[in-house]
C-alpha cells in the first residue's frame, strides 16, 4: 500500500474511532472537514519515509504516529484560520472551518484534534508501552511550549520576534518531530534525525513564502499575498523570488546531507528531492528547472 | 504535605517545565494566568483522595495525574470564556484570559494547556511506562470526542440536546476521569470508580447551577445568572432551589454508596461529605444545615 493511502486510512480510522454515535454530529462533521480533503500531507509522508529508511516493520505504529502528526497540523490550521488570527475564508480550496461551521465549532474542532492525536497514539501503541512515552514527548514538544507550533503562533502576539525562532517553532518543529518520530518508531536514535526535519521544514517554509507571493489563490487553495498584508516575515520578501528558490535548494541539499546512516538512505534522498519539486509553486518549478 | 499544597506545586512544576527561556513571554504569562490563582481544585483533590483511598504510594505519579486533569479543566475554562462562547469578562474574580491577553493568546493558552497535560503525564510516568497508556486514555477520553468536555461544549452548537448527555460530557466526564485515574495510578480497577466520579460531577453541576441563581458574583468570581440569560439547561431552573439542594444531597450519598471496597473507604466518604458542603453557595449551605 502506498504512503498516501496508508495516511488517509490512518486518519480516517483515528477519526472514526471517536466520531461515533453519541458524538455531537456537527462537531464530528467539523473535525472531518478539518482533515478531509487533505493538503499535501507532507509531514506524515516524511514520517513514513524516515520510518521506512530506518527499517521499521511495525506499519500500524508508524501509520498511527504519522496520523497523529497530521492531526496536530490540521488542528493548528483550524485555529490559525480563526478570525482573531488570519481570518482566512478558505483552506485547501474550501471554506475554512469557522466559515463552514461557525467559530465555536472551529475552536472545539481544533481542541478535539489535539486530544485525538494523543489518544490515537496511546491506543495504537498499547502493545509497545516502552515506545509510547518517548514518542509522545517528541510529538507534544513539537506543538506545545516553549518551542512548538503554539509558541510559534504566539510569537505573532509579541512586540519583538526573531524571524528564525518564529519559523522554527511555527513550521520547523513539527517537521523535526516527523523525522524524529519516524526514527523512534523504528527504534532508531531520534536526535540524529531532527536536523533533517529542521531543514525540510525550513525549505517548506520558504516554499510557502514563495507560494504566497508567486502562486495563484486557486493553486494554493487559500488567499495569497497574506504575508505582506499582515506584515509577516517572509523569505521571498527578504531574498527575492530567485534568492528564495536558491535557498530552498540549499536547504533540501542540506537535509539530504544530514541523513544519518540507515538501511534506506538512498531511497530517502530520492523522496526528499521529489518532495522539494512537489512543494514549489508550478510556475516557479518550471522556471527553476 | 496536604493535597492542596501538592496540587499547587505539581501545577507550578508542570508549567515551569515548559515556560522556560525561549518561550514567548506573553504566552507563558497567559498560561500562568489561566491556572493561578486557582479555583477550588475539586477534580485534582478528588483524584488524590481516590489514589490515597486505593493505597497509592507513588505520590509523584498521583500528583502528575491530578495536575494533568486540572490543566485540562483550566484549558476548557479559557476556551469556554472566549467571546464566541460565553464571552465572560471574569473568571475566579480576575479578568478572563482573553480580556487580559487578547483572544489569540487565549486560544493559544488553551491549546498549550491541553498539550502540556499530555506531555506532563508522559514525562512524569516515564518510570512506569505500562501505566502511561491506560492513564492517558482515561484522561483523553474525558476531554475529547465523543463524550468528553469538547463534546459537551459542542452540544451547545446543536439544535437539539439531551440535558443529561450535555452535563455528563461537559462536567461529569472529567470527574469520572479524576476517580478512574486516581484508582489507576494506585493499580486499582478504573471502571468500578467511574460511577463515583460521575455522581460527584453531577452533584457539582447542580451546585454550579445553584450558585448561578443563588450566589453573588463576588462569591463566585464570575458573572451569575448566565444560565437563564443564555437559556441553558439548569437543575435549579427545573427543580427549584430546594429541589436542587435535595438532588445534590442524594447525588453525594449515591457517590459514597458507590465507593468500591478499598483500604481508605471511610476516610474518602468523609472527604466527599466535606466536599459537598464546600461546593454549595454559602447562603444555601446555612439554609440547608
The residue with cell 506532563 is B120
- Residue B240: CATH number of its domain: 1.10.600.10
Helix (H, G, I), strand (E, B), or coil: what is residue B158? coil
| B289: confidence class by pLDDT, cuts 50, 70, 90 | low
What pLDDT is recorded for position A231? Answer: 67
Chain B (169-228) residues lying within 8 Å, Cβ to Cβ, of chain A:
none
Mean residue pLDDT across chain B:
92
Mean pLDDT, residues B51-72: 97
> Torsion-angle region of residue B262: left (phi > 0), alpha (psi -120 to 50) or beta?
beta
> Torsion-angle region of residue A231: left (phi > 0), alpha (psi -120 to 50) or beta?
left
Q: What is the pLDDT of residues B111-165, one digit of tens each?
A: 999 999 999 999 999 999 999 999 999 999 999 999 999 999 999 999 988 888 8
| A46: confidence class by pLDDT, cuts 50, 70, 90 | very high
- Closest-CA distance, B239 to chain A, in angstroms, reads 26
Contacts of A126 in chain B (CB under 8 A): 133
Residue A289 lies in a domain: no
Mean pLDDT, residues A215-232: 66
| B276: confidence class by pLDDT, cuts 50, 70, 90 | confident
Mean pLDDT, residues A147-171: 92
Counting Cα atoms < 13 Å in the Cβ hemisphere of B172 gives: 19
- Cα–Cα dist B250/A7, whole Å: 49
Mean pLDDT, residues A235-240: 80
| B63: confidence class by pLDDT, cuts 50, 70, 90 | very high
Q: A214 or A132: whose pLDDT is higher?
A: A132
What own/partner pairs with CB < 8 Å and gap ≥ 24 does B282-285 have?
A: B282/B215, B282/B219, B283/B214, B283/B215, B284/B210, B284/B214, B284/B215, B284/B241, B284/B245
> Do A186 and A180 touch, CB atoms closer than 8 A?
no
* Nearest CB neighbour to A114, from listed B25, B27, B114: B114
What pLDDT is recorded for position A133? Answer: 96
Helix (H, G, I), strand (E, B), or coil: what is residue B267? helix
Does residue A175 surpass a pLDDT of 70? Answer: yes
What pLDDT is recorded for position B239? Answer: 84
Does residue B100 surpass a pLDDT of 70? Answer: yes
Helices B103-124, B3-18: axis angle to 10 degrees equals: 110
Portion of chain A with pLDDT greater than 90, in percent: 75
Mean pLDDT, residues A134-154: 97
Number of domains comprising chain A? 1
Contacts of B122 in chain A (CB under 8 A): 132-133, 136-137, 140
Scanning every residue of chain B, which has its alpha carbon at the shortest distance from the alpha carbon of A112? B144
Q: What is the pLDDT of residues A80-133, one digit of tens each?
A: 999 999 999 999 999 999 999 999 999 999 999 999 999 999 999 999 999 999
CB atoms within 10 A of CB A229: 11
* Nearest CB neighbour to A79, from listed B107, B115, B150: B107
Does residue A226 surpass a pLDDT of 90? Answer: no
Chain A (92-131) residues lying within 8 Å, Cβ to Cβ, of chain B:
101-105, 107-108, 110-112, 114-116, 118-119, 122-123, 125-126, 129-130
This model of the complex carries an ipTM of 0.94
B159 touches chain A (CB under 8 A): no
Chains A and B: how many Cβ contacts under 8 Å? Answer: 197
* Nearest CB neighbour to A150, from listed B20, B112, B144: B112
A23 touches chain B (CB under 8 A): yes
Q: Which domain covers residue A271, as residue numbers?
A: 3-278
Residue A60 lies in a domain: yes
* Nearest CB neighbour to B24, from listed A23, A125, A151: A151
Does residue B235 surpass a pLDDT of 80? Answer: no
What pLDDT is recorded for position B275? Answer: 83
Indicate yes or no: CB of B155 within 8 angstroms of CB of A24.
Answer: yes
Residue A285 lies in a domain: no
Mean pLDDT, residues B189-213: 91
Interface test with A, best of B122, B135, B159, B173 (most A CBs within 10 A): B122
What pLDDT is recorded for position B219? Answer: 62
What pLDDT is recorded for position A216? Answer: 61
What pLDDT is recorded for position B211? Answer: 84
Scanning every residue of chain B, which has its alpha carbon at the shortest distance from the alpha carbon of A113? B144
- Closest-CA distance, B103 to chain A, in angstroms, reads 6
Contacts of A125 in chain B (CB under 8 A): 133
Scanning every residue of chain A, which has its alpha carbon at the shortest distance from the alpha carbon of B72? A115
What pLDDT is recorded for position B73? Answer: 98
What pLDDT is recorded for position B265? Answer: 96
- Cα–Cα dist B252/B279, whole Å: 11
Indicate yes or no: CB of B111 within 8 angstroms of CB of A111.
Answer: yes
Does residue B225 surpass a pLDDT of 80? Answer: no
Contacts of A115 in chain B (CB under 8 A): 114, 140, 143-145, 148, 150
Mean pLDDT, residues B94-100: 97
What pLDDT is recorded for position B205? Answer: 87
What pLDDT is recorded for position A233? Answer: 66
| B229: confidence class by pLDDT, cuts 50, 70, 90 | low
Contacts of B103 in chain A (CB under 8 A): 84
Scanning every residue of chain B, which has its alpha carbon at the shortest distance from the alpha carbon of A138? B119
What pLDDT is recorded for position B32? Answer: 98
- Cα–Cα dist A190/A138, whole Å: 9
A159 touches chain B (CB under 8 A): no
Amino acid at each position: 500500500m502506498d504512503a498516501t493511502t496508508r495516511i488517509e486510512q490512518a486518519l480516517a480510522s483515528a477519526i472514526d474511532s471517536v466520531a461515533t454515535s453519541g458524538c455531537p454530529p456537527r462537531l464530528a462533521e467539523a473535525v472531518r472537514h478539518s482533515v478531509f480533503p487533505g493538503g499535501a500531507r507532507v509531514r506524515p509522508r516524511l514520517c513514513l519515509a524516515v520510518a521506512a529508511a530506518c527499517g521499521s516493520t511495525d506499519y500500524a505504529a508508524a501509520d498511527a504516529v504519522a496520523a497523529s502528526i497530521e492531526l496536530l497540523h490540521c488542528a493548528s490550521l483550524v485555529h490559525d484560520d480563526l478570525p482573531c488570527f488570519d481570518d482566512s475564508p478558505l483552506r485547501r480550496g474550501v471554506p475554512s472551518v469557522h466559515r463552514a461551521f461557525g467559530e465555536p465549532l472551529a475552536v472545539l474542532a481544533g481542541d478535539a484534534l489535539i486530544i485525538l492525536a494523543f489518544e490515537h497514539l496511546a491506543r495504537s501503541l498499547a502493545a509497545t508501552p516502552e515506545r509510547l512515552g518517548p514518542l509522545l514527548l517528541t510529538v507534544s514538544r513539537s506543538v506545545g511550549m516553549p518551542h512548538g507550533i503554539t509558541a510559534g503562533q504566539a510569537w505573532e502576539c509579541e512586540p519583538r520576534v526573531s524571524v528564525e525562532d518564529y519559523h522554527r517553532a511555527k513550521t520547523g518543529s513539527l517537521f523535526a518531530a516527523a523525522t524524529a518520530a519516524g526514527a523512534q518508531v523504528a527504534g532508531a536514535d531520534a536526535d540524529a534525525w531532527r536536523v533533517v526535519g529542521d531543514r525540510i521544514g525550513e525549505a517548506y517554509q520558504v516554499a510557502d513564502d514563495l507560494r504566497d507571493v508567486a502562486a495563484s489563490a486557486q493553486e494554493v487553495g487559500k488567499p495569497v499575498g497574506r504575508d505582506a498584508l499582515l506584515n509577516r516575515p517572509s523569505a521571498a520578501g527578504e531574498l527575492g523570488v530567485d534568492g528564495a528558490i536558491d535557498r530552498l535548494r540549499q536547504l533540501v541539499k542540506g537535509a539530504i546531507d544530514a541523513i544519518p546512516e540507515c538501511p534506506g538512505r538512498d531511497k530517502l534522498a530520492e523522496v526528499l528531492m521529489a518532495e522539494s519539486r512537489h512543494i514549489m509553486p508550478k510556475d516557479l518549478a518550471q522556471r527553476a528547472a
